[in-house]
């Protein structure tokens, strides 16, 4: 795949593919129908953008959100790629410019929302412009089982049949039901070439914490990461507003976002988040798929997400540039009750509610995990993994104990009170708390009254929470949240099974937040200076900072400290266009010196072995400009000729003469061949 690899380096500035990308790019470029399930932030976009450049014609990209499309188009244009979008958010001038580029055959990628396919003129336009490939981003939206169903996605299969072109579908999370529906809807049931890539995002540190004054916990977490871009997800609109105010009062750059805001206000937040460094957005899940900012350093959940798929999707918005990132989740028994009741009270059919309970169970299992969290998370997606060394339970192993006796006491209290009470009353019974409510129901006469004095109220709350987390008990919505025992608990109650619980979440040791840094202390001042230079360029151009260079690229610059433009070109994320536009300025920040500009022909070779060859050919030419004896008439080759020699490396005098002509071949041929053969 030499063409794709060459464009990967020259356009996007990457020296190699991420794991799994090369095979997908090869399949899509070859025109095979493709379904790729890749981790969020795993480089899905490149898997259709690169084939679009390799193939003739226009690639149509169906994407669900205007903000996402606009960001990708801007990033592609920054990299020198001809891309455009037809969205309802376009101005008339923007739309006219896209149509002119299409009519002139200049556009390689055309982005549009699925809703546009309902327009009668869209199909005729797509036929006229010579579409050769359809790419579908966020393909799970085609599925009733997916978490963002969009009915207009159902038109895409018909579009593929009508245009008779290959289709490549991409998504980050798709369980078996969703995958089956994608194949049925987009590919008429004929299985495409499918790539199920690992779901691991090893750069994200995973941690969970039991709620204990959650506002204080979030403020402490953010304080330890001051100046880093983050998202805090909340379960209610009101909480987003109050928590954003609290963060602002604590000196953070913070704002809120939820679906109840007016559209212009939401757009202002989206724009600020893309362009401002270090902004924290406190949001409901309405702040979702459109978030494509690669240098979000952390995602926190102030409330438990609704399912393990939602959790995976939401934490996946952190660290898309591959640099270190973090995911922090708070949870408590009220979260579990809320999520259970939302499922039980929904209008979904019974099999859907059952599946939703199973998804929630998987997330609760992750929250109450006793071993490596990443192992637990990846096991849900069918992957085996070794302990990751990058989660809270690998940092500090859980303190486990045999909780069988405690769980039996709790289950006995539930059954002896008719499964009609919540945790508060049950804990009063177990701890022997002689309340009016206990006496009024004669529950102080039960055999279980006072048998649980080994734990205080907070300890029993943790036991009941872990029991809910392991789906041994569920709140009954018809009995106002009273706990009912599940079938999974019966073997424990009968003495046929044992259960292990975590003591550390019962007696949680308080620890101060650890301040997280992206680079060593030695490199931190340089990284700050590089970020300041990036911010100046971004503000001048009206771009999000990451479109100049993302955090990962700046981190590599700070650590590697390139000294020349050739060195700079070898930094991941520095493509030819960005090297031309920004290379010298960032090099000056690193070296403290102004860098002589390179001839454009030479700059195109920067960072490649051909660049070194070019320099040696240039020196050889200088030595022989007046011939071997220094007495002949001056003669030289053009920079374009030297660049061609360096790239094509002719192996003999005949091939070299075809590039240089007789006169120059006679003067320089033998010496140039010596240089080329050495190189």
The 10s digit of each residue's pLDDT in 85-97 is: 998 878 889 889 9
Question: Quick check: is 509 in a domain?
Answer: no
Pairing mode, if any, of strands 230-233 and 298-301? parallel
| Count of all residues that appear for the chain in the document | 679
Asked whether residue 23 is domain-assigned, the answer is yes
Percent of the residues in the chain that have a pLDDT greater than 90, as a whole number: 37
Q: Are 346 and 214 in a shared domain?
A: yes
Looking at the structure, tell me whether residues 417 and 532 fall in a common domain. no
165 and 214 housed in the same domain: no
Instruction: Work out the burial of residue 373: count CB atoms within 10 Å of its CB; fewer than 13 is exposed, 13-18 middle, 19 or more buried.
Output: buried
Contact residues for 243 (Cβ-Cβ < 8 A; gap 6+): 215, 218, 232, 234, 256, 282, 302
394 within a domain of the structure (yes/no): no
In a domain, 392, yes or no: no
pLDDT for 480: 64
Higher-confidence residue of 489 and 519: namely 489
**Average pLDDT score over residue span 138-162:** 81
pLDDT score recorded for residue 223: 94
The reply to whether 318 and 444 lie within a common domain is no
Question: In the predicted model, is pLDDT for residue 326 greater than 90?
Answer: yes
Backbone CA torsion sign across 114, 116, 122, 128: negative
Residue 646's domain is classified under what CATH number? 1.10.150
Per-residue model confidence (pLDDT) at position 2: 57
pLDDT, tens digit, 9 for 90 and up, residues 223-240: 999 989 999 999 999 999
Distance CA 310, CA 363 (A): 9
How many structural domains is the chain composed of? 5
Q: Kindly state whether residue 561 falls inside one of the protein's structural domains.
A: yes
Question: Other CB atoms closer than 10 Å to residue 194's CB: what's the count?
Answer: 16
**Residue 301 corresponds to which tokens in the numbers above?**
């959940």
Establish if 514 belongs to a structural domain: no
Same domain, 533 and 660: no
Q: Could you tell me the pLDDT band of residue 190, with boundaries at 50, 70 and 90?
A: very high
- Residue 490 maps to which CATH number? 1.10.10.10
Token pair for residue 441?
């129901």
**Mean pLDDT across 498-521:** 67
User: DSSP character for 391?
Assistant: B
User: Confidence class of residue 498 from pLDDT cuts 50, 70 and 90?
Assistant: very high
The Cα–Cα gap between 24 and 195 comes to: 7
**DSSP-assigned letters across all residues of 153-192:** GGGHHHHHHHHT--EEEEES---HHHHHHHHHHHHTT---
Q: In what order do the strands lie in the sheet with 109-112?
A: 83-86, 109-112, 58-62, 131-136, 167-171, 34-37, 193-196
pLDDT in tens, 526-549: 888 888 888 888 888 888 888 899
Best CA proximity match to 448, nearest among 492, 483, 417, 474: 417
> Residue 393 has what pLDDT?
95
Query: How confident is the model at residue 291, as a pLDDT?
Result: 64
Report the DSSP pairing between strands 131-136 and 58-62: parallel
| Average pLDDT of every residue of the chain | 87
Q: For tokens 């400290």, name the residue.
A: 561
Clarify whether residues 216 and 304 are in a common domain.
yes
Tell me which residue range forms the domain holding 471. 400-502
- In this structure, are 180 and 39 located in the same domain? yes
Residue 290's SS3 state is coil
Quickly state the pLDDT bin for 512 (edges 50, 70, 90): very low
- Report the candidate in 83, 547, 60, 63 with the shortest Cα–Cα distance to residue 290: 63
The Cα 111–Cα 372 span in angstroms is: 40
H runs (alpha helix) in 504-652 = 524-541, 545-548, 551-560, 565-569, 576-578, 584-591, 600-603, 609-624, 639-648
Is the pLDDT reported for residue 55 higher than 90?
A: yes
Number of H helices and E strands in the chain, helices first, is 32, 17
Backbone angles phi, psi at 301, to 5 degrees: -110, 115
């Amino acid at each position: 795949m030499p063409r794709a690899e060459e464009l990967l380096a020259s356009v996007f500035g990457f020296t190699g593919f991420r794991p799994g990308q090369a095979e997908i790019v090869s399949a899509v470029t070859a025109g095979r129908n493709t379904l790729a399930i890749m981790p969020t932030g795993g480089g899905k976009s490149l898997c259709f953008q690169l084939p679009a450049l390799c193939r003739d014609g226009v690639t149509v990209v169906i994407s669900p959100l205007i903000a996402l499309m606009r960001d990708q188009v801007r990033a592609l244009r920054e990299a020198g790629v001809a891309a455009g979008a037809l969205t309802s958010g376009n101005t008339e001038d923007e739309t006219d410019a896209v149509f002119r580029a299409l009519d002139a055959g200049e556009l390689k990628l055309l982005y549009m929302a699925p809703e546009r396919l309902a327009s009668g003129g869209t199909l005729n336009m797509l036929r006229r412009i010579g579409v050769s490939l359809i790419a579908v981003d966020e393909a799970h939206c085609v599925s009733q089982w997916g978490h963002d169903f969009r009915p207009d996605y159902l038109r895409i299969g018909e579009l593929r049949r009508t245009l008779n072109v290959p289709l490549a579908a991409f998504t980050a999370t798709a369980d078996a039901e969703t995958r089956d529906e994608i194949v049925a809807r987009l590919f008429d049931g004929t299985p495409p070439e499918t790539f199920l890539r690992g779901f691991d995002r090893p750069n994200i540190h995973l941690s969970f914490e039991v709620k204990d004054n959650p506002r204080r916990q979030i403020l402490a977490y953010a304080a330890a990461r001051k100046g880093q871009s983050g998202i805090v997800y909340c379960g209610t609109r009101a909480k987003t507003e109050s928590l954003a105010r609290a963060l602002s009062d604590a000196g953070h750059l913070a704002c809120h976002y939820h679906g109840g805001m007016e559209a212009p206000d939401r757009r202002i937040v989206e724009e600020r988040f893309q362009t401002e460094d270090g902004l924290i957005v406190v949001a409901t899940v309405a702040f979702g798929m459109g978030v494509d900012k690669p240098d979000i350093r952390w995602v926190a959940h102030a409330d438990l997400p609704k399912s393990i798929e939602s959790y995976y999707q939401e934490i996946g918005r952190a660290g898309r540039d591959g640099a270190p990132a973090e995911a922090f989740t708070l949870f408590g028994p009220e979260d579990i009750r809320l999520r259970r009741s939302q499922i039980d009270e929904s209008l979904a059919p019974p099999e859907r509610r059952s599946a939703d309970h199973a998804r929630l169970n998987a997330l609760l299992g992750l929250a109450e995990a006793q071993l490596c969290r990443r192992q637990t998370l990846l096991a849900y997606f069918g992957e085996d993994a070794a302990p990751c060394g990058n989660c809270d339970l690998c940092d500090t192993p859980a303190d486990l104990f045999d909780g069988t006796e405690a769980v039996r006491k709790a289950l006995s209290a539930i059954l002896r009170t008719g499964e009609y009470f919540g945790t508060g009353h049950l804990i009063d019974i177990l701890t022997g708390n002689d309340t009016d409510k206990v006496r009024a129901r004669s529950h102080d006469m039960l055999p279980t009254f006072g048998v649980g004095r080994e734990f205080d109220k907070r300890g029993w709350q943790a036991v009941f929470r872990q029991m809910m987390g392991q789906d041994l008990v569920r709140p009954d919505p018809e009995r106002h949240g009273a706990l009912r025992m599940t079938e999974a608990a019966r073997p424990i109650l009968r003495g046929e099974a044992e259960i292990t619980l975590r003591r550390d979440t019962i007696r949680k040791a308080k620890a101060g937040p650890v301040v997280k840094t992206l680079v060593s202390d030695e490199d931190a001042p340089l990284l700050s200076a590089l970020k300041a230079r990036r911010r100046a360029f971004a503000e001048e151009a009206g771009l999000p900072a990451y479109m100049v260079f993302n955090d990962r690229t700046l981190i590599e610059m700070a650590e590697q400290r390139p000294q020349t433009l050739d060195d700079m070109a070898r930094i991941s994320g520095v493509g030819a266009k960005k090297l031309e536009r920004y290379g010298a300025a960032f090099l000056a920040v690193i070296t403290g010196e102004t860098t002589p500009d390179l001839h454009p022909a030479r700059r195109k070779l920067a960072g490649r072995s051909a660049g070194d060859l070019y320099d040696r050919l240039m020196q050889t030419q200088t030595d022989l400009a007046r011939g071997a004896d220094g007495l002949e008439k001056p003669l030289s080759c053009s920079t374009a000729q030297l660049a061609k020699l360096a790239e094509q490396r002719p192996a003999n005098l005949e091939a070299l003469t075809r590039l240089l002509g007789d006169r120059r071949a006679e003067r320089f041929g033998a010496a140039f061949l010596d240089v080329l053969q050495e190189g």
